[in-house]
Structure formats: structure tokens, C-alpha cells
Structure 1
Amino acid sequence: MKIVKLNATTSTNSYLRSYTKELSPEADVLVWAIEQRSGRGQRGAYWEAEPGKNLTLSVFKRVEALPIDKSFYITMATSLAVFEALEALGLQQLSVKWPNDILAGRSKICGVLIESIIRNGLTGVIIGVGLNVNQVHFSKAPNATSIALETGRYFDLEEVLNLLIQKFYKYVERIVSGAFEALKAEYESKLFRKDKASTFESPSGERFTGIIKQVSETGKLILQLEDELYKEFDLKELKLLY
């Protein structure tokens, strides 16, 4: 893996998309920015990150052998890699808030944004990761936490990065070997609020109760609604309110 370290950029995902379009690399590329000025999250949300205290990075990986209908397994693998890395650092009460936020308790510690590169089929992905490491004050994200807040210790960013890379390739190998069923089962076992009655909100503002049961292979959330009815939802169709 080639690692490109930047002092500052607007968004590591945007930088890496331009980088790969211009150079078309064959090997994996990781871009790590000490300061990310316009980090993006799911639904276009702003990602707050104090310069020099967190990991804001993106990884480009070619995935030409992976059918496009199995691309959500990349999300599963990335979420599990971050989850396992945080466990190794001593964090507890971790869960994956569908589709790919990592929570410590009820607070968000990591966000993931995955963008596909499609050129005559799925050719690659850009995996953006924002991991709160040593930041302890969050002015724009009141429901955020960090490794330092959860453990009471500060960590070397490069050591945390190397651990993430190690775990990432462990789960990439699961995809390469075709262990899709086991990967999906492990991901589902770590879902936040799984098998618990939860409140959701539709885009129109309507609230309803459902129970998270599983995810589909394409990444849709499968809820059990009233009268034992099961229904699939994508990210734009609902928001989990707890």
C-alpha cells in the first residue's frame, strides 16, 4: 500500500478521487490528512475533526473481481476492521450503527463514507474514514466521542493507523476468499439496536417503530414492523432515532 501524507486538504475522498483519475494506480493507495477542512459524512453531513488529533484518511482499492451487487461487503469489512481495531485499543460497548458508523456506547467515534468508481462496471472504491483519536472537545458534534475520551489515554496516530491497516487487510482477505456469509453474520451481530424495538423517522417526518433484524446483501436494512411484516429500507428512506 502506498501512503500519501498531506498537511491539509479539503476532503481526502475528493483528493483521492482526483489522484486516481489522473494516475490510475494499480496498487492500493491511502491518503492521510493532518487537517481536513471539508470532511464529508453520510447524507452530506459535516465531519468535525481538530487538526493533528484524529485520523482523517481515504483508501483507494481496486475491486474489479467483485460483482457490483456485492459491493456492500466492502462496507461490512471496513466497519468490522475499525470495530476490531478499537477493541484492540481497549474500547468497550462498541457497535455498528447501520450502515457504517461506529459507536462507543451511544456516541459516535468513527464515520465511514464509501464511494464507488464505476468504469464499465465496478473497478474500484474509495473508502473514507474519520476516526476520533485524541480530540476531547466537540463543538459541532455533541454526540461524538474519541479513543482518548473512552480510555483516558492519548495514542500515537501512526500506531493507530498501522493497526487499522492490519485489520483492514484481514477483512479484505475474507472478501477475496469468498467468506461472504460469515462476514455478513459477524457484521449483523454487531449492529446497534439489533432485535430491539426502535423508533425510526421517514423523510416526510413520520415516525414509526421497528425492530432491526438483518441487512440484505445489497446493504438495505431489514426491519420487522407490525403484524410480523418484514420490510427493506435503504439509507435515504429512514433515520434511526434510537
Structure 2
Amino acid sequence: MSFALLLTALSDGKSRHVTELAQIAQTTPAQLNGLWQQAPQYLHNLLRQNDGYWKLAKAIALLPENTRHPLFDVQVQPETTSTNTLLLDDARSGCSIHQRVIAAHTQNAGRGQQGKSWHNQLGECLMFSVGWTFSQTQAELGALSLVVALACQRALSQLGCAAQIKWSNDLVIGMDKLGGILIETVRHNNQTHAVIGIGINFLVPEHVDNSTSFQAASNEKHSAAEVFTVLLNVLHQHLTQFAQTGFAPFQVAYEAAHRDQNQTVYLLRGEQIAQYGYALGVTERGELRLQTDYGGVQYIASGEVSLRR
């Protein structure tokens, strides 16, 4: 019998009869209650039972292991170290990672921006990494993270979630964080192999301040699999165009989605304010155009700087 199979079957929030669930979990209906006792407490309380039917009160971020997509080679792992690391290792060894996707339910060595660790509880966060190979050098891909953020913002908007972008590539709802993006690259055989790590809160994370989730922000109900499919559709469109044309065609749309456009912002290096000024927009290289009181317009590359308002 398998608790993981049971939880994945319930993850979309739809009602299923105990007979069907028992077959999926490779057990008997009488043993389902005992199997459910393996659920973490924060998920345990989501279960609703009615006249032989089970459902979760809300969908959670689990993908079936047989998840497929017509434009990507998709692999779903219940647990791994880091989806970014898996693709990076393949790229360094000369294996093709182009249009490959690895998703995971949990990561025990996940990484976030600026060297931070990425932690999540099972079912809270939709996490995956996308491999894409470019002919351009790494220096020519400075705006890649902005294009990825815009693709995610547009995909979420299609699903009823009015996300915005905090430069350079955080996904936000107002002042609360919805998701993040980490891009790492390998130069091999005169090509740049980009690994695009994406994490989107599907449930509001426990014990994390100033955070929100897709479920809390969307005015529509969607499963994680549906969100995943739309994200990959829009990412494929945007990455294909970016490889051909660069950032220029996306610049206006990015600025329209930028939460802090035409606002006073502070740039932090670590916990210290490095600069402040008025956010005028972004350049074709993905730099922030910052109007300052003391030095005219400054052009800021993301690097180790984070933006606050």
C-alpha cells in the first residue's frame, strides 16, 4: 500500500470513492483510514469524508508521476536533492537538457536566490526546473530571468491569479511573495545551457512571513497539474521568442507587470541599503533604471542586490 499514491490521487481536490482510492493506493477500503494517519498534520485536517467519498478541502501541489507535456520531456520525482542540480549535472556531463523538465514534491537541498536555502512542506509548493539551450553567451542572456518571470506572471493571470513581478524575477501579490525563480547556466560546446528553477506557493507556507499562494490569490480553482501545464505552455512561447529576438519585445509588458514601476525603491546588499531612487523601468539587458537624487540615472544589474519598497 502507498500513502504517496493516495495523497496524489486526492491532490486535485476532487471527490473520489473509497473503492477507487483503495485501488490506486494498492490497499483495501477498510485500510484507507489507517493509511491516512501517515499524513502530516497540516494536511491531515484537509480531508473531508462523506458517504464513501473522500476529498481534500483544497488542492495541493502534487503532480502524478506520469505527468506529460507535448512540448517538454517531463519527469516527476517524489523527492530529490535539487531539481536544478540534477539538470546542471547533466549539462556539465554533456547530456542534452533542452526542453527537459524535472519536478519534485520535496527537495532536501533546494536552493533559492542569493545562496539561500529553499524549504517547503509536502504539497505547499509547485517546484520544477526547466532546461533550455541557447546559442547566445551567458553575457547576452542578462534579461532571461525577466522573461521567465513575465511568462510565469502571464500564465498565472490566465488562471485567475493577478500576480505581479518584483524586479528582477520575484512573483508577488502586493507586498506578499508568491514565488521565485533561480537561473543557473553552464557553457558547453559553444552553447549556453540554462537551468530555470521555479517555485510557486500553491498553499500559503506555514511560518513564512509576507507570503501568499496561488490558491489564496486566484479567483478560479485549478489543480497543480493544470497550473503546471499552463506555465509550461507560456514558458515555451516566451523562451522560443527570447532566443530569436532578445528582450526588446517583452520590455513594455514587463514594465506593466512590474509592481514597483514608477515607485521609490531601495536596493539592499545583504541587509544594508546600497542605493535608493525612483524605478523608471528596465533596459533591454534586464537592468533596473534607477533615478537617483545624487547621480542621475543608474543602471543596476540584479546580481547580489535585492529590491524593497
Q: What TM-score bracket applies, with the shorter chain setting the length?
A: 0.7 to 0.9
Q: What is the alpha-carbon distance in structure 2 between the residues aligned to residue 206 and residue 179 of structure 1?
A: 31
Name which of 271, 282, 286 aligns with 1:215: 282
What TM-score, normalized to structure 1? 0.87
Unpaired stretches in structure 2, ≥5 consecutive residues? 1-71
The residue type paired with residue 97 of structure 1 is K
After TM superposition, list the pairs within 5 Å mapping 1:178-189 onto structure 2: 178=245, 180-189=247-256
For 1:219, what is the secondary structure of its paired residue? coil
For 1:235, what is the secondary structure of its paired residue? coil
Q: Is the 8 A contact 2:137 2:192 kept in 1?
A: no
Change (3 A) 1:156 1:237: closer
After TM superposition, list the pairs within 5 Å mapping 1:24-173 onto structure 2: 24-25=95-96, 27-64=98-135, 66-92=136-162, 94-119=163-188, 121-133=190-202, 135-139=203-207, 141-151=208-218, 155-173=222-240
Instruction: Percent identity, please.
Output: 25
- Higher RCO structure (Cα 8 Å, ≥6 apart): 1
Q: What is the alpha-carbon distance in structure 1 between the residues aligned to residue 303 and residue 145 of structure 2?
A: 17
Q: What is the alpha-carbon distance in structure 1 between the residues aligned to residue 168 and residue 273 of structure 2?
A: 21
The residue type paired with residue 266 of structure 2 is T
Structure 1 residues 67-76 or 185-194, which shifts more?
67-76
Structure 1 residues 80-89 or 66-75, which shifts more?
66-75
Offset of residue 70 of structure 1:
2.7
Offset of residue 218 of structure 1:
3.2
For 1:194, what is the secondary structure of its paired residue? coil
Q: What is the alpha-carbon distance in structure 2 between the residues aligned to residue 71 and residue 179 of structure 1?
A: 8
Structure 1 residues 31-40 or 114-123, which shifts more?
114-123
Q: What is the alpha-carbon distance in structure 1 between the residues aligned to residue 303 and residue 91 of structure 2?
A: 28
For 2:245, what is the secondary structure of its paired residue? coil
Q: What is the alpha-carbon distance in structure 2 between the residues aligned to residue 208 and residue 193 of structure 1?
A: 15
Residue 205, structure 1, aligned to residue 205, structure 2: no
Tell me how large the CA RMSD over aligned residues is.
Answer: 2.3
The residue type paired with residue 290 of structure 2 is L
For 1:198, what is the secondary structure of its paired residue? strand
Considering only CA atoms, is the larger Rg found in Structure 1 or Structure 2? 2
Question: Which whole-Å deviations, capped at 9, do the CAs of 1:44-100 have from their partners, x for residues lacking one?
Answer: 122232213421110111112x343331332222111110111011112x2211111
Question: Which whole-Å deviations, capped at 9, do the CAs of 1:78-126 have from their partners, x for residues lacking one?
Answer: 111110111011112x221111111011111110000111125442100
Q: What is the alpha-carbon distance in structure 1 between the residues aligned to residue 113 and residue 261 of structure 2?
A: 21
Offset of residue 208 of structure 1:
4.6
Count residues in correspondence. 238
Partner of 1:7: 78
Q: Is the 8 A contact 2:266 2:273 kept in 1?
A: no
Q: Is the 8 A contact 1:68 1:121 kept in 2?
A: no
